[in-house]
């Protein structure tokens, strides 16, 4: 499916939502395989045929303003009688607008937040007649579901005693260490020519060589090493397997945090590597990228067959990067070395749960 086809599908979907299309239109969507629709049964790799029903495409168009508003409603109502889940609030808004987040959408989101917070209606009641709410809820949960929640944050008093405070909120981190200069703009979908013509499926953040790269969400190091397109790169998978974070073009000669290896469990906020400009070479450890930058990407995975395929789902991260700037992690240099480590720690219940179930050891720094 090319970009023009996808754009056409999304516009069709939006029109269907806005005019409250009927059963016939819905059936047409299902048949055509548009976003969130069921697909035709596919043959299993085993002897028996097996139905495959999962999301094939996501256009994550949630604006920075919408992310902020939904997050504030989540924080405001946490531990109250009428808690609001920011993902569900965003999904409700998208189901009302066809995934468009303009001024009208922000008004819809704000009004829904007030109704929910006051207990006038439940989200189930409000979303009950919205045909595409389940699709947006699953899609947005896959995209941002691991970024907000409970955690414990390290605190040191005047006497140097360390304790941990219970916190709730944004536990995902900005991908660069706090205090380091950077520039960025929305370059998702721009053309790339090295190797073959393709679209840019990530977000570039320009900065200085050696800037510490921060783990956005806790997870498992799935990939480390050289790739001719990404240079030195790291791939980290979320514990629920829905998100694959990709950090590329890391520094020549010293790309990774000391001791980090594939299979390690990392905690959000850990230093995992260093900015550089490696890549665009079949030979390892070559600087063929002209501008020093971090390329970070986020792939959504609803079925494992999507992971390494022609149908990968990568989303635009510009608005999400701006949002994550609300939560940065400072880093400290280790003596006279080139190594940096996070300056304060958190305890992420997601890490504890995974380690308890799997017996895995953390690679946190």
DSSP-assigned states of every residue in 244-294: EEEEESBPSS--B-TT--TT-EE-TT-EEEEBB--BS-SSSS-B--SS-EE
Residue 244 has pLDDT above 60, yes or no: yes
Instruction: Determine the pLDDT at residue 23.
Output: 37
pLDDT at 1: 45
With both helix axes pointing from N to C terminus, report the angle between 64-77 and 103-117 in degrees, rounded to the nearest 10.
Answer: 10
The pTM of this model reads 0.85
Closest by alpha carbon to 345, among 324, 360, 326, 364?
364
So what's the pLDDT on residue 43? 37
Of the candidates 158, 126, 142, 65, the residue with the CA atom closest to the CA atom of residue 313: 142
What the block records as the tokens of 298 is 């986020």
Instruction: Label residue 107 exposed, middle or buried (CB < 10 Å: 0-12, 13-18, 19+).
Output: exposed
Token reading at 365 = 């720094």
Structure confidence at residue 51 (pLDDT): 58
Looking at residue 362, its pLDDT comes to 63
**Parallel, antiparallel or unpaired: strands 49-50 and 148-156:** unpaired
Q: What is the pLDDT of residue 363?
A: 64
CB atoms within 10 A of CB 218: 28
- Could you tell me if 346 and 332 are in contact, meaning their C-beta atoms sit under 8 angstroms apart? no
User: What is residue 134's predicted lDDT score, i.e. its pLDDT?
Assistant: 97
- C-alpha distance from residue 221 to each of 246, 296, 360 (Å): 10, 15, 12
Q: How confident is the model at residue 364 (pLDDT cuts 50, 70, 90)?
A: low
Q: What is the mean pLDDT of residues 82-103?
A: 98
pLDDT grade for 47, boundaries at 50, 70 and 90: very low
Q: How many CA atoms lie within 13 A of 167 on its CB side?
A: 17
What mean pLDDT do residues 99-117 have?
98
d(CA 352, CA 94): 33
Report the pLDDT value the prediction gives residue 365, as an integer from 0 to 100: 65
Give the model's pLDDT for residue 192. Answer: 73
Mean pLDDT of the residues in the chain: 87
pLDDT tens track for 134-157: 999 999 999 999 999 999 999 888
For 22, the token pair is 């009927």
**pLDDT for the residue 40:** 33
Task: Fold for 183-358, please state it.
Answer: Glucose Permease (Domain IIA) (2.70.70)
Q: Which residue has the higher pLDDT, 305 or 46?
A: 305
Please compute the mean of the pLDDT values over residues 226-239 and round it to a whole number: 97
Domain with CATH 2.70.70.10 in the chain: 183-358
Residue 257's CB is within 10 A of a number of other CB atoms, namely 25
């Amino acid at each position: 499916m090319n970009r023009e086809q996808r754009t056409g599908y999304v516009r069709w979907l939006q029109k269907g939502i806005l005019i409250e299309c009927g059963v016939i239109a819905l059936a047409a969507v299902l048949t055509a395989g548009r976003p969130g629709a069921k697909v035709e049964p596919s043959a299993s790799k085993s002897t028996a045929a097996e139905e495959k029903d999962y999301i094939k495409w996501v256009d994550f168009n949630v604006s920075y303003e919408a992310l902020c508003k939904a997050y504030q409603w989540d924080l405001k109502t946490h531990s109250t009688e009428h808690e609001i889940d920011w993902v569900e609030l965003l999904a409700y808004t998208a189901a009302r607008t066809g995934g468009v987040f303009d001024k009208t959408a922000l008004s819809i989101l704000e009004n829904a937040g007030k109704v929910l917070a006051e207990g006038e209606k439940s989200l189930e009641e409000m979303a009950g007649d919205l045909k595409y709410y389940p699709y947006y809820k699953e899609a947005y949960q896959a995209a941002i579901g691991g970024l907000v929640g409970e955690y414990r944050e390290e605190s040191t008093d005047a006497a140097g005693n360390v304790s941990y405070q219970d916190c709730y909120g944004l536990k995902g981190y900005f991908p660069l260490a706090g205090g380091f200069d950077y520039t960025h703009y929305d370059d998702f979908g721009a053309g790339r020519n090295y190797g073959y013509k393709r679209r840019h499926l990530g977000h570039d953040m320009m900065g200085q060589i050696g800037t510490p790269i921060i783990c956005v969400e806790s997870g498992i190091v799935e990939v480390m090493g050289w790739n001719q397109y990404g240079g030195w790169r790291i791939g980290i998978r979320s514990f629920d397997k829905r998100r694959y974070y990709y950090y590329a073009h890391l520094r020549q000669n010293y790309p990774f945090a000391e001791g980090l290896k594939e299979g390690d469990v990392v905690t959000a906020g850990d230093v995992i590597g260093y900015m550089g400009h490696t890549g665009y070479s079949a030979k390892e450890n070559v600087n063929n990228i002209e501008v020093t930058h971090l390329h970070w990407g986020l792939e959504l995975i609803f079925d494992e067959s999507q992971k390494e395929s022609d149908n990968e789902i990568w989303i635009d991260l510009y608005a999400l990067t701006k949002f994550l700037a609300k939560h940065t992690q400072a880093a400290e240099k280790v003596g006279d070395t080139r190594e940096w480590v996070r300056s304060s720690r958190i305890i992420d219940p997601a890490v504890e749960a995974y380690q308890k179930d799997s017996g895995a050891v953390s690679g946190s720094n």
